[in-house]
Every structure is written in structure tokens, then in C-alpha cells.
Amino acid sequence: MSERPPSAPGPVVERFDGAVLRSGEPFTILYGPGVRDVFVDTAYQVCTLEQVLWRLLRVHGYERIVFGSTDRPVYFRDDGSRELSRGRALGHKKAPAAGPRTMRTPGMSGPMGNLLVTPGSSPAEERGPAGPPPPASGVSDPHAVMTLTGYLQRAEPRTAVVIPHAENYLRYNQAPRALAGAMANWARHHGNGNLWVLVFERGTLDDVARYVESCHAYPLLETFVRAQAEQRGRSGTARIDFPQAAETERLIHAVRLRSGLRLGDWRELDTIVKAMATNPRTARAWKAMLEELARASDTALTVAAIRGEGADVPPADLRSPWERLAAMPGLDAVREHFEQLRAEVETVGALQAEGRATAAEPPSLHLVFSGNPGTGKTTVARLVGELFRDLGLLSRGHVVEAKISDMVAGYVGQTPGLANATVDRALNGVLFIDEAYTLNDQRDGFGKAAIETLLARMENDRRRLVVILAGYPDEMTELLESNVGLRSRTSVLRFPDYPPDTLHAIALGRLTERGATPSPEAGARLREIVFGMHRTRDKSFGNARDMRILADSVFQQWSGRVRAQVNEPVTPEDIPDGYRNHLPQPPPDPAELLAELDRYVGLGPVRTALTELTNRLRLRQARGQGGFAPPHLLFAGPPGTGKTTVARLIGKMFRTMGLLHRGHVVEAGRATLVGQYQGQTAPRVRKAFEDAMDGVLFIDEAYSLISDARHGGYGQEAIDTLVQEMENRRGRLVVIVAGYPGEMDAFLATNPGLPSRFTTHVPFDHYSPEDLVEILDRMAAEENRTLGEGVQERAMAWLEATRRARPAEFGNARTVRGLLELMEARMGERYVRQGAGSAPPSEYLPEDVPAPGAG
């Protein structure tokens, strides 16, 4: 713990920085949770803010310190100030001697001398020389205001006017008009060395501003406080916070020496002090708690007692924060950053000790934690408070974890106040804002207001505030790019995803930590699962967090099986089904795999391609190797040749082969991928990739993406993004582009990256007439109809004639479906001709097939 050298002779209190008294502003506003607190100064005296303030003012050269409150409109805490204010011309009246009552005004005399002949009271004149000064009774507000402002206006003696309960004073003053006028006058003419201090109980300056506004009586003060609340400098205002470590330690000693508090174990003192200082609570509350402990004869101050009070004590971890940081896996870069900082602090300390360092601005300590979920950002953030406190860079080192709702308000104008209030809570500690990038996309610019407020405080309070912004790498990059101020004030620490080995170790560690022992086999299975999870991870992958979830669900299943037999090891059967798809599947039998295709006519080239892939896979698995990245496919062929159908099948098959984790198919086209305005296209493409992760992105009619290339459309952007995403997500999904062969060549030519990525071309040829008739047969069969004798020949003749007549429109399978519909119509006609009562026909007859060229 470092202790700042006292800026003034005499005992000091760290959390009240006397610098505020030198602001040069007309008013000095004190506020915050500490203003009603007690303070333990460096002389171990417990005193109130009024006493601390009085002492500071005296040290700052104020000869006369006068207070004003609702109950006592003008009062003094010391005889000197009172003497300076009363009886300057005639001296102070001495205490009356016994005897007839005499007049109290020196120099006043009538025919009976100074004998008092009226019943006037002589209040509270009698007091001992050491006793507290008598209150000035019955001071009227108009005169109190007149008097206080009179004091302020005189340059001599140098005077500070303190309003210790400003809320009440402003609300209940009987002379608000005079007070408002006095404030305005003072604001215009201050600068004679006098000071006007107002102490508010509000927690934040924004609350103070709101309160003053609610009085509707003091426009100038309103303006001043509002301006200070929104201004970057905030000079002339000081937030009195909860006690810091040094003061907390003095409090413990003060109670120990005065009330006999015992310490359970002196070695715990440091931990206790830190825990107490980190817990936002007033010294008054801690004092009461400590005195309670002191009163109970059989209790002592221990870590447990403090924890019982709800303080955040690191669980039985007596390691230093540095040791704990060092023990965290995979955070070398983070560790290096803090070690570097530590070295720098040491160097600066040494330089200062030798008097060689000038008082340079301290470096900015604010940080950006960029990383995926579960990479240890929060854990490190909590450590950072302790680290900085350890380095003497923060006096309390507590961590306030703020959500967006703590920073951004729902109504216009409230955001700065809310954000400031949150920052105020974190002063002398760490403000940790997780998912900070969401500040960027808050509606109506509220997020921007929050960022601006935050930036101002990061700059102004840099000596006693560390802000940590955390979030996904991309989004954080975007946030920093859009806010130069943030970027220039923060150091970015990257929290990489844990490598699969580390993740595996984390999962096993968690299991072991909970008391379960995985068998080697179970360990191996878990490793496969973890590797699978890692391989198939997306943005939502929780890294260490997901490992904990995995371990916990295994533990749950294991405990369900073994019950009290805790010596039973964890075996592969304890792995929940939900995780088993990450286990390698037995290589599929090609025949079985391709059986799906048997339902379809033709598709010879498709079968060939799939069979090749299956064979590769079998080979690798047989050699104990993992899978390979599934290839992107290009389907070239005319419409109706089964491309879409096959794409769907491919997803399933690849999943069966273990090449894709999910195997679903996301269909996309120009309408879904290409935007109408600048900037819309790339996100659409990325969104499509996002949706298709671990499955298939099927882009039919892919060449239509670039159909507008000559007109300055955004198709090219779509293609470029496509290439980029294919690279980024290599192995995680399969892109299938489909279209007419000639147009697909043009498509591949639009980006040089395309041909090399679509290496597997699957041609979908026109069906042969025989294939078409076969399709007709299957289609009819699907409807429980049969083709009668001579139907096939007649159908073949019709199809041939149709292709010849309209080759461009000939849609192969779709034309066959049209033919079947024509046949059904004719069958229906035949059925009606036969008359009611006859059985409906199920067999197509040759007469049902239209003549070639007809229909």
C-alpha cells in the first residue's frame, strides 16, 4: 500500500483531495457517498467531513471559516473565526459577573449606567472557555445570507463559507431570493481569495445538478453544477468516496487501540484491509462493525468475519494477484503487459526517489480486452484492480462491472448523468464494461453520449480510474476504429481463444477440481470432443466457459451413474449424448452413403465425386488421421437436372462423413446477398455465411450475382466478400454454387480467387430420353399410378418433340412433371366418360399421353 505524501502539514485524509479548494471556481461542490461518513486521518483521529474540511481550509490559509445550515444559519467551529466576525470594534463581551443584570453591549450607558431594566433574555452566555461555542440563536435567513455574502465580499480576513447540508439549506432557506442573488453576485465578482463550499449528500454530480434544478430557485447554481457535471474538467467539484485501503487500515488500528479490537491473525491484516477497501461501504459502517466485534469478548477480526459482512474476499487464495495471473493459462501477452507496467512503475519510483523524474503525466492505464467469450477477460479484469492497487496506481482497486444499462439511459439527456454515476462508483478502482462494443449501436446516439462521457472521465480521472472495455475482437476493433479517442487512450490486450489442448486441460481440471477422476479412455474421448468443439467453434464459442459446462454435464451424468461410489472413474459412457457428435463416426459405407442418390435418376458424375471423397476419408481414418476440409462444389448444368436436390443431400452426406458438423443447407441468391445500397452487401454475405456455418451455403444461379457488374451494381462486392469468407471459414462450411455451365465459367472469371476455391466441378447433364421416361415412371409410382403398355414410347416421343420445339425452355425433370399433369388430366377425362360408379383408373394408358408437339 502506498501512501501519498501529505500535501499539507498535519494529518490528512486521502479520499478528500484538498486540490479542489484551489479550483478558482466561484463554488466548490462536494458530494458523494462519503460526505456523511467519518474519516480516519493519518493521526488516527476519527473526524467528520466538517472537521476535515475545516482543517484543510485552515491549511489553505483561510483565516475565517464560517458555516451555515438550516438550523444554524451562521456558525463557527473555532473561536478565532468567531472573534474575527464579532466585536471587532469593541471587543468581546466578557461573561457577566454575579449581581444585577447588566447590559451586554459594551459602551452603552444610560442614567443607571449599564443596569438592565428590561426583561430581555441573555441566552447561553455562560460557557466554559474550553466548551463548544454557543450557537448564534435566532439568526434570520435574510440576515444570514447578507452576513455570509458580506464575509465573502471582504478580501480580509480571508474567508471560507461552508454549507454542510446544501440540500436542506437550498430547499428551506427563508430568503431564497436573496440567496440566489448572492450566488449570482458572487459568481460575477469572486476572485478575492474567498471560497464558498457547498456539500451535497447526492451520490453524483448529476444528481446534485438535478436536485438544484428541482429547487427552481437558484438558476446560477443550476447552471454551474450542470456545466461542471457535463464539463470535462469538473473543476471545483469533488466526490468524497468510500474509504480506501490506507484509511481502512487506520480505522482498524483506531478501533483496535481505542476499543480493544483483537486481530485473529496479523498475517491476515493485509487481506482484510484489501477486502474492506474493495467493498464499497462507509467508514462509519465499518467502524460500527469493528466496534461490535471489539465489544464481543470472544471474537476477533478475521477474514471470515469480513467475509461474513459480505466483503469480496478472494476465496482462500492467499496468492498474490501476480501469482494468480501467472497461473492463468494462455495469457502470455496479457501477463507481459502487466509485467511491463510493473517494471515501469518500479523505474519511475526509483527515478523519483533519486529526484530525477519530473512530474510527468502518468501513462494512460485504460485497457481494451479483445477476445471471445470465456477467454478469461472478466477474471483478469478482477485481478487488474488488485494488480494496480499493488502497484500503487489505484487506491482502492475495486472492480465495478458495468452493463450497458449502467451506461446508457432511455431518455434524452440522462445518459451522461447515468454514465457519470457509474464512473463515480468505480473511482479509485476499475470500471469493467463487458460487451462494450454495444455502446456503438445504441439507438438515437445515446451510446455515443455514453462514450463521450466515458472518454472525458478516462482523461480527467486518469489518476484514479482504470476503464476496461471488453468484447469480441472484431466488434472491439470496430468500436476503436470508430472512436479515435478511445483508441488513443487504451491499450488493447488480446485474449486469444484457448488452443484445444488448453481447453482439454481446463475441462479435465474442472472435473478433477470437482472430485471426479476421468479414466484415460474418458480423457481421450473428452479430448476428441474438445477438439471437435474447437474445430467447429463459432463466435458464440465460450472457450473456458464451455469447458466448464462440458465438465459439469459429464460430472452430472457420472454422479447419476455412480451415486456414492465416488471412487468409480469417469468413463466414456458418462459423456452426454449432446456432445457425442464430436466423436469420430465410423467411416460410412460408400454404397450406404450413396443409397440416397439411388432414388434419383442419373447423377452419375455426382456419385463419382462423392465416392472419391468417401474413399479419401476412409483412407485417412484408417491411417488414424482426422478429417479434411470438405471441398466447395460447383454444380454446372441446365435447370431441372437435380442440382438443388443434390445440394441438400450433400449436406447430410458430409455430416454423415463427419466433414460438416451440422450439414444444414442455407440457400442464397442475388436477392439475399446483394444489397441495394452501398455497404449493405458485405454484411448480407457475411450473414449468409454465419447462418450456413457447419453446413452448406447453396447459391443457385450464382452468376446472377454479377449480372449487374457492368451497371455499377454491388454484385462484385458480393463476390469479393464471398471469397474472403470462404477463406476465413475454411473447413467450417461448404459453398455450392450452381448454374448453367457457360454462365458458371463467367462467374468463376469475376474473381481470381474463385477458380482455385471451387476445384470440384460436378456436371449435371441433360437427362437422356430414357432417364426422362424413368423419371416419369417414378413420379407416377409416387402417386400410386402405373404406366400401361406403350405409354413409355409415347411419352418419349412427346418429350423429344417438345425439346426440339423449345430447347431453351426445356426443363428436363420439370418438363416431365408437366407431362404427368397433362396425362392426369386426360385420365380424368377418361374416368368421367366411363361414368360414375366405375372404379377410378390407376394405370395411365397410351391415349393419356398427348401427341408429340401437343399440350
User: What is the Cα–Cα distance from 331 to 324, expressed in whole angstroms?
Assistant: 12
Q: Which is nearer to another protein, 149 or 278 (CB)?
A: 149
The least CB distance from residue 68 to another protein, in Å, is 12
Angle between helix axes 283-295 and 245-259 (nearest 10 degrees) is 30
In sequence order, what E strands does 50-137 have?
64-67, 75-76
Residue from the set 22, 88, 403, 599 that interacts with another protein by CB under 8 A: 88
Sole binder of another protein in the list 19, 108, 805, 825 (CB under 8 A): 108
For another protein, which is the closer residue by CB, 182 or 436?
Answer: 182
How far is it, in rounded angstroms, from Cα 242 to Cα 245? 10
| Distance in angstroms (rounded) separating the CA atoms of residues 560 and 576 | 12
Instruction: Choose the binding region for another protein from 8-16, 119-127, 249-257, 564-572 (rule: CB under 8 A).
Output: 119-127
Residues 163-192, interacting with another protein (CB under 8 A): 174-175, 177-178, 181
Residue 109 touches another protein, criterion: CB under 8 A: yes
Pick 153 or 235: Cβ nearer another protein: 153
Cis peptide before 134 (omega within 30 of 0): no
Q: What is the DSSP string of 446-503?
A: HHHHHHHHHHHHHHHTTTTEEEEEEE-HHHHHHHHHH-HHHHHH-EEEEEPPPPHHHH
Residues 185-215: b if buried by 16+ CB within 10 A, e if exposed:
ebbeebeeebbbbbbbbbbbbbbbbbbbbeb
Candidates 49-57, 101-109, 354-362, 664-672 — which segment interacts with another protein by CB under 8 A?
Answer: 101-109
- Which listed residue (100, 363, 445, 683) binds another protein by CB under 8 A? 100
Q: Which is nearer to another protein, 118 or 756 (CB)?
A: 118
The residue behind cell 462494443 is 437
* Shortest distance, position 89 Cβ to another protein, whole Å: 6
By CB under 8 A, which span of 104-112, 547-555, 663-671, 840-848 interacts with another protein?
104-112
Q: With binding defined as CB under 8 A, does residue 248 bind another protein?
A: no
Exposure of 127 by Cβ count < 10 A (0-12 exposed, 13-18 middle, 19+ buried)? exposed
832 scored as a contact of another protein (CB under 8 A): no
The DSSP annotation for 569-600 comes to PB-GGGS-HHHHTTSPPPPPPHHHHHHHHHTS
Among 47, 59, 116, 184, the residue binding another protein under the rule CB under 8 A is 116
Amino acid identity of residue 442, one-letter, is Q
Of the candidates 143, 138, 97, the one whose C-alpha atom is nearest the C-alpha of residue 121 is 138
Q: Rounded to the nearest whole angstrom, what is the least distance from the CB of residue 237 to another protein in the complex?
A: 28
Q: For residue 412, give the H/E element and its range.
A: none
> Where in 675-714 is the site for another protein (CB under 8 A)?
none
562 contacts another protein (rule: CB under 8 A): no
Minimum distance from residue 185 beta carbon to another protein (Å): 9
Residues contacting another protein: total by CB under 8 A: 49
Q: In this complex, which beta carbon is closest to another protein, that of residue 189 or of residue 463?
A: 189
Q: Judged by CB under 8 A, which of 21, 74, 682, 735 binds another protein?
A: 74
Site for another protein, residues 121 to 150, rule: CB under 8 A = 121-123, 136-143, 146-147, 149-150
CA 67, chain centre distance (Å): 45
Q: Are 356 and 428 in contact (CB under 8 A)?
A: no
Residue 138 Cβ, how far from another protein at the closest point, in Å? 5
Considering the complex, what minimum distance in angstroms separates the CB of residue 356 from another protein?
51
Q: How would you classify the pairing of strands 399-402 and 429-433?
A: parallel
Strand partners, 28: 197
Q: Interface with another protein by CB under 8 A: which range of 103-111, 529-537, 751-759, 809-817? A: 103-111
The residue type at 51:
Q
SS3 state of residue 812 = coil
* Given 51, 70, 153, 611, the residue binding another protein (CB under 8 A): 153
Work out whether 115 is an interface residue with another protein (CB under 8 A): yes
State the minimum distance, in angstroms, from the CB of residue 75 to another protein: 11
Nearest CB to another protein, comparing residues 150 and 604 = 150
* CA distance to 60, 333, 404, 480, per residue, from 477 (Å): 47, 18, 18, 5
Among 19, 90, 333, 566, binds another protein (CB under 8 A): 90
Q: Which of 9, 24, 97, 118 binds another protein (CB under 8 A)?
A: 118
Q: Three cell numbers at 637?
A: 448444368
Q: Is the CA virtual torsion 537, 542, 543, 545 positive or negative? A: negative
Q: What residues line the site for another protein (CB under 8 A)?
A: 74, 85-90, 100, 103-123, 136-143, 146-147, 149-151, 153-154, 174-175, 177-178, 181
